[in-house]
Amino acid sequence: MLNSAPPRFMASAAGAYLAAPPLSPEDLTMVLLVRQDKDSADTPMPTVTVGEIPGVVRELAAVGIHSVKIFAGARRRDRLASGALKKDSLMVRAIGAAKEPLGSATTVLTETCLCGYTDSGNCYVTNGSGMIAERRSVEAIAAQAAVQAAAGADIVGPAAMLPGCTEAVRSALDEDGHGGVGIMPHLIFSSSLYQGFRSTMHAEPRDGRPHQISPFQPSAALASALQMTREGADVVLLEPALASADLVPALTGAGIKVAPFSVSGEYLSLTRVQADGTRDCTALVEVYQMLKRSGAVRIITYAARDIARVLHRC
C-alpha cells in the first residue's frame, strides 16, 4: 500500500496547487491615507498629501502597481457628515491627483463611508435622539459615492455595512450616468487590528461599529457577502485579511469575487523598518501568496510598493 499511486483526485489537486501563479505586483493595490497639507505626518501609519499623490502613483507604476485605494476625511465634521458631499473635499482632490499622472492607466478605488465626516466618528448619521438614522445614512453614502465617481473614481467602496447600502449606491451611480463605476463593499470583521488606521485618520467611533461581524459568526459573513452581491457588488473587500483568510475559499466557492484588505495592524506587526527607510515585508509576501492561492482576485495593502520591490528582486 505504501508504494501505491495516490488517488487521481489527490494528484490533480496537488498539481493545481503547485501550478498556482506566483504573486505579482499587478495583484496589489496600494493604500493611500491622505492628510491635509498642514497636518502632521507623525502618525502610526504612513500618509500622503494631495500634492504628493502624483509622484507616488508614478513610483507605483514603475514597479508594476496600477491601482490605489484612497482614504480621506474632513477636518471639520458634523452630525450629518455634510463634508462627504462637498465637490472640493480632500477625497475629491485626492482622486483627481491620482488620475493626473497616468489617467485611465491608474485604477482608483475609494472608501465610501461617513466615519471621516461625522463628529462622532461613526459610519452613520444619527437622528435627534442619537439613534442610527439608517435610511438617511444609506442615502448620504449613495450620494457620496456619486460625488466620488464624478471626481474620477473607478470603484467605490461602501464601508458602513448598512442593509441596502450596496443597492442604493448602485442606483445612485446609474442615475448619475456612472454605470461603468464598480462597487466593492467592505465586509468587515470586528477586530483590534484597525487601531493604527483609526488613530491616523481620527476615525475613532464613539458608538463602536454595530454592523461589523463577530469573528465567531462566519456564517453571517457569507450571508452578508451574498446579499451584497445580490445588491450589485462587483467585488467584496474582506478585512482583516489574515484574520478572515479562511473565508476566501468559501466566498469564491459561492461565486463571489474577493479582495482581502491587509489592515493597519497586520502591516505594523508583520513588517519592520530597515536602514534605508523601506520595510521588510518578507512575512507579508508569504501571506499574500497564500491569499492568492486561496482565490483572492486582488490584495489591498499598505505594503504594496515595498512588496513589489521585493518581487522584482526575486
- Tell me the per-residue pLDDT of 31-83, one tens digit each, with 9 for 90 and over: 999 999 988 889 999 999 999 999 999 999 999 999 999 999 999 999 999 99
- List the single range of 65-79, 209-223, 236-250 with lowest mean pLDDT: 209-223
Long-range contacts of 308-314 (CB under 8 A, 24+ apart): 308/25, 308/28, 308/60, 308/63, 308/64, 308/65, 309/63, 309/278, 310/281, 310/282, 310/285, 311/23, 311/24, 311/25, 311/285, 312/25, 312/63, 312/64
Cis peptide bond N-terminal to 21, omega within 30: no
11 in a structural domain: no
202 in a structural domain: yes
pTM of whole model > 0.85?
yes
Higher pLDDT, 154 or 205: 154
What is the 3-state composition of the chain as percent helix, strand, coil, each rounded to the nearest 5? Answer: 45, 15, 40
pLDDT value at position 127?
Answer: 87
13 in a structural domain: no
14 in a structural domain: no
- The Cα–Cα gap between 91 and 85 comes to 10
2 in a structural domain: no
CATH of the domain at 118: 3.20.20.70
Range 231-253 average pLDDT: 96
Higher pLDDT, 277 or 169: 169
Which residue range(s) make up the domain with 181? 24-313
**pLDDT tens-digit readout, 147-189:** 999 999 999 999 999 999 999 999 999 999 999 999 999 999 9
9 in a structural domain: no
Strand partners, 300: 29, 261
Q: Is the dihedral of CA 241, 29, 196, 266 positive or negative?
A: positive
The DSSP output letter for 224 is H
Please say if the pLDDT value at position 24 is more than 90.
yes
pLDDT value at position 262?
Answer: 98
210 in a structural domain: yes
Q: How many domains does the chain have?
A: 1
